[in-house]
Amino acid sequence: MYDIIIVGGGSAGSVMAHRLSAKSANKVLLCEAGQDTPPGNEPPEIRDSYSGLAYFDPRFHWTELKVTTQIVSHNNPDEGRPPLRKYEQARVLGGGSSINGQMANRGAPTDYAEWEARGATGWNWKDVLPYFKKVERDLDFDGPFHGKDGRIPVRRIPQQHWTGHSQAMAEACKLAGFAFLPDQNGEFTDGYFPVTHSNQDEQRVSAAMGYLDRETRKRTNLTISTNTQVKELLFEGTQCVGVKALVDGREQEFRGREVILSCGAIHSPAHLLRAGIGPVGHLKEMGIPVLMGLAGVGQRLMDHPSIALSSFVRRGARMNDHTRRHIQMGLRYSSGLAGTPAGDMFVAVLTKSAWHSVGEQIASLLTFVNKTYSETGQVKLASRNPQAEPIVEFNLLSDRRDLDRLMSGFRKMAALQMSAPLKAVTDKPFPASYSDRVRKIGVVNTKNKVLTAIAATLMDGPAVLRHYMIDNFIVEGFTFEQVMSDEEALEAFVRKAAIGVWHASCSCRMGRPDDPMAVVDTQGRVKGVQGLRVVDASIFPVVPCANTNFPVLMAAEKIADAMQ
C-alpha cells in the first residue's frame, strides 16, 4: 500500500518522485517500464553530450510505436491513409530527458498568457517563471530570469568553440540583420544565440540524474520499480485505488491513495481510455464500459511541424574537439504572418545529422513552427490490450498557417544557405526528409557503421561523385533547384516531409470545470474521478514556443508544490 503511485519515470515522474518523497510521511512508488539509469553507472549512450546515440538506440524506445503525421485527405480517397512512421518515445528512466537533444528553453510569456486564457488559471508567465527557475542551475547567467540552485544544470557552448559551420551560420544571420542574443532564456526576442542545454562537464544531465540521485534514492519512503509496465488502473467506483503492472514480466498489483499518470501525451490518454475515461463514442466502439465521459481525452494532440534544409559540410567546418554537442546555435524569428505573435518560428542549426560517418558530413537547418495552430491530432485505442500501441494521428499542417510558414521558412533558410559565409563551408544543399530509409541507416549497429564509413570516404572524394551520391542515395523526390523554382513542388515537399520534433503534447488538457474538452484541472486532477492525476506534456492547454522538456519539468514542479 502506497500513498502515491507515479506511473512513468520520465521528466515529470522523476520530479514528482523526488518532491513528493521529500515529505517522509508520503510512501511513494515510481513505476517505469524501461530500464534504470543508476547514478554513476548510466549507459554511456545516455550520458553522452551528443544525443544521437541514445535517440536511435532501440533499447531506450517504445519500439512498436508508429504514428501518422499528416492529416488524412477527405477530398481524394485515392490518396488513402498517410504512411505510418516511427515516433521515438523514450522507454527508460528519465524518459525523453534521457535521449532528447537536451534543449533547455521555456517558450514565450505569451504562451502562458494563452494557457490562462484557455482556462489554466494561475499558469501565466509570472506564475510559471519561479518554477522554471526552480528547475535549473544556470552555469552562465544570473538575474531575474535564471535559477542558480535547481537540480538541472544548464549551460551554453561559447561562440569561440562553435564549429566552422555554426560560425558561418552566425555570420549569415548577422548579415541578414538578425541580432545576437547572448541569452536565449532572457528576454524573449528575435535573434540568433548559443542554445541553452541541460548539460554539465560535457555530459547530459537527465531528469533522472538530477532528481533521482543517490541521496534521493536513499529515502526509505521511495521505491523505484523499473522494468515495470502498468497494464491497468484499478478503480472502486470512481475512486482510483491502484494499478496492475508487469514487473520483470510477472503480474503484480499495487494499491495507493493517489495515482499520477506521467506517461506522456501518447500513453497517458491511452491509460485513461482503457480505464473507461474518455469520449463516450470511442469507448463504446471499443467495448469499454464508460467510467467517466470526457470528450477531450486523446483529442487535440499537438507537436511542432518541421522541415529541414541540409547540405554537405566541408572538412574544416565539421565537428571539432571542443564539444560533442551538435546543436550549438539557434535562431528565433518572426514570420510576419498576420495574427501570429513575435518569435513564432525557430531554427536549430545542426552541424551533424546522425551518429555515423555520413551523418558527420551532413549539416541541417531544421526549421519548425514555434507557435503552432494545428490542433486536430488525436490518440485513440487500436485495441483494449494494454500491450498494443494506440493509434496516433498528429494531423500536422491541418491549419494552413503552419504550412505557409514552413514554406516561407524554407525559403528564408535557403537564402541564408546561399549567402557567402555558408556557401564557403558547405556544398550541394538539398531538401531533407526523415524517411524510413534515413531511420534504418540511423539505427546503431555494426552494419550501418561499416556502410556509412565506405559512403563517407566516397563523399569526401570528387564533387561530381559526391553530388551523384546525394542525388541518388540521400535526396528523396525533390531537388533544391526544383523546390526553389516551383511553388507547387515546395508545397508538395513540405507536405510530404514535414514531421514533428518529438514534442507530443496537449492530449489531456488543463481547463475550466465547464470546458467540455478539458480533462484535468489546474492541479492535474482528472475531472469526475477521485485519486487520479495526469502530470506531463499532455496537460498543456497548447504547445508552447519551446522544446517541451523544460515546460514539463516546470509543470511537475508547480503541481508537486501544490500537493505539498
pLDDT tens-digit map of 245-278: 999 999 999 999 999 999 999 999 999 999 999 9
Cell of 139: 552555469
What's the whole-model pTM score? 0.96
Could you tell me if 453 and 441 are in contact, meaning their C-beta atoms sit under 8 angstroms apart? no
Q: Which pLDDT does position 81 carry in this prediction? A: 62
- E strand or H helix at 18, and its extent? helix 11-21
Task: Report the range of poorest mean pLDDT among 26-40, 122-136, 379-393, 436-450.
Answer: 436-450
Distance CA(532)–CA(296), nearest Å, equals 16
- With 0-12 / 13-18 / 19 or more C-beta atoms within 10 angstroms meaning exposed / middle / buried, residue 187 is exposed
For 356-406, write each residue's pLDDT tens digit: 999 999 999 999 999 999 999 999 999 999 999 999 999 999 999 999 999
Termini Cα distance of the chain: 20
Which residues 6+ apart lie within 8 Å of 386 measured at CB?
229, 230, 231, 232, 274
Total Cβ atoms within 10 A of residue 41: 9
User: 298: which 3 cell numbers?
Assistant: 486523446
Over residues 503-524, mean pLDDT: 98
Residues 529-538 pLDDT 10s: 999 999 999 9
Rounded distance, CA 14 to CA 456, Å? Answer: 40
484-507: string of b/e by CB count within 10 Å (b at 16+)?
beeeebbbebbbbbbbbbbbbbbb
Which H or E run contains 441? helix 436-442
In this prediction, residue 442 has a pLDDT band, given cuts at 50, 70 and 90, of: confident
State the cell numbers at 5: 503511485
pLDDT score, position 79: 52
Pairing of strands 306-313, 362-369: antiparallel
- Cα 145 from chain centroid (whole Å): 23
| Count of CB atoms situated within 10 Å of the CB of 315 | 9
C-alpha cell belonging to residue 288: 469499454
| Per-residue confidence (pLDDT) for residue 56, from 0 to 100 | 84
Q: How far apart are CA 401 and CA 381, in angstroms?
A: 30
Question: What are 349's strand-pairing partners?
Answer: 329, 365
Place of cell 549551460: 155
Which percentage of the chain shows pLDDT scores above 70? Answer: 98
**Contact partners, residue 284, CB within 8 Å, separation at least 6:** 290
Helix segments in 206-322, DSSP class H: 207-211, 214-217, 264-274, 280-285
Neighbours of 310 (CB within 10 A): 24
Q: What per-residue confidence (pLDDT) applies to 443?
A: 85
pLDDT of residue 71: 59
How many C-beta atoms lie closer than 10 Å to residue 338's C-beta?
6
At 275-299, the pLDDT tens digits run 999 999 999 999 999 999 999 999 9
Cell of residue 286, nine digits? 471499443
What value does the mean pLDDT take over residues 464-493? 93
Q: Where are the beta strands (DSSP E) in 268-425?
A: 277-278, 292-293, 299-301, 306-313, 327-333, 345-350, 362-369, 377-380, 391-396
Smallest CA-to-CA distance from 26 within 157, 305, 220, 165 is with: 220
199-237 pLDDT per residue, tens: 999 999 999 999 999 999 999 999 999 999 999 999 999
Helix (H) or strand (E) holding 199: strand 199-200
Judged against a pLDDT cut of 80, whether residue 323 lies above it is answered with yes
Residues classed as catalytic: 503
Residues in contact with 14: Cβ distance below 8 Å, sequence separation at least 6, in sequence order: 30, 93, 94, 95, 97, 206, 207, 208, 210, 211, 212
Mean pLDDT (whole number) for 552-556 = 98
What pLDDT score was predicted for residue 108? 97
What are the chain's domains? 158-194+306-371+398-497 (3.30.410.40)
Question: What would you report as the CA-atom Rg of the chain, rounded to the nearest whole angstrom?
Answer: 23
Checking if the pLDDT of 77 tops 50, the result is no
Answer yes or no: are the C-beta atoms of 425 and 313 closer than 8 Å: yes
- Residue-wise pLDDT for 88-106, tens only, equals 999 999 999 999 999 999 9
Which residue in 192, 193, 191 sits closest to 156, CA to CA? 193
